Amino acid sequence: MKILVTGGAGFIASHVVDRYIALGHQVTVVDNLERGRKENLNPQAKFIELDILSPQLSDVFSEGNFEVVNHHAAQVSVVYSLDDPIQDATTNILGSLNLLGNCIKHKIKKVIYASSGGAGCGEPQYMPLDERHPVNPLAPYGVSKHTVEHYLYLFGQNNGLKYVTLRYMNVYGPRQDPYGEGGVVAIFTNKMFHNEVPTINGDGEQTRDFVYVKDVAEASVMALEKGEGQGVLIGSGIETSVNDIYSSLKDATGYAGEVIKGPGLVGEVRSIYADCSLARDILGWTPQTSLDQGMKETVDFYRNFS
């Protein structure tokens, strides 16, 4: 297949690109490199440095003859979205509309959209979270990511656009940015290797559903052939506290320093984990990597990170 991957120099999407290329697909990456890294780019992918808001995106579609679009490009910072909700919406909503308009114009066979599980639902009314849970985001980021799901439904109904939405829980693993506010595994690991003191926001008993990035990439592989019109949660289905993550990483890195307890973050849910049985039923997807194994591979990556 000829596949366009937006945000393909970023953390999650670069792993998706690697899997697509390993399976023999022809992949074009569009990324503005605002958060993506050239080091993440697969050398066998065609790379175009471009923002998804650009009018030139139409030329990329005209020349690419793509069959599938995998859409990961986004503004991904919850804190930034709270500070500048207009820019968050501009990138995540208007940028996606520019992309989807081109998908319709150029008769793309399928769109795979990377959405948010936890940020989209807000504080869970029940757990494990499932796809029937009400959507009540606590930050503009969750609003903007979920809004695109409504546009996908609209274009599916009115224009016949086929799609599947992957609602990610807390993805971790190699290539995650250790300098942002998200990605506690990457942040802690990098700080420990540089003998810097990690900060746990709040009491550390907040829990998350941590899912390994290579398992997440497999969901995008399965979504090439399966799923139509659904949104499915992609997670481990296991609840793990930030304190437990810290303790595991301290052992794995040999960190002998202290930890700072800081204030809790605005817009952050207290606890969340997912029931991912719908992803199993629709895509045939289940996570394959244990937290211990995923953490080991992540720690190995950050030993030499610069």
Provide the sign of the torsion angle of the four alpha carbons 45, 72, 129, 84, taken in this order.
positive
168 in catalytic set: no
Helix, strand, or coil here: 69? strand
Element containing residue 164 per DSSP (H, E): strand 163-168
What does the alpha-carbon distance between residue 135 and residue 72 come to, in Å, rounded to a whole number?
A: 21
Residue tagged active-site, from 20, 113, 141, 168: 141
What does the alpha-carbon distance between residue 291 and residue 96 come to, in Å, rounded to a whole number?
A: 32
What does the alpha-carbon distance between residue 96 and residue 203 come to, in Å, rounded to a whole number?
A: 37
| Among the listed residues 105, 91, 110, the one whose alpha carbon sits nearest the alpha carbon of residue 58 | 105
| Among the listed residues 300, 208, 268, the one whose alpha carbon sits nearest the alpha carbon of residue 81 | 268
Active site residues: 141
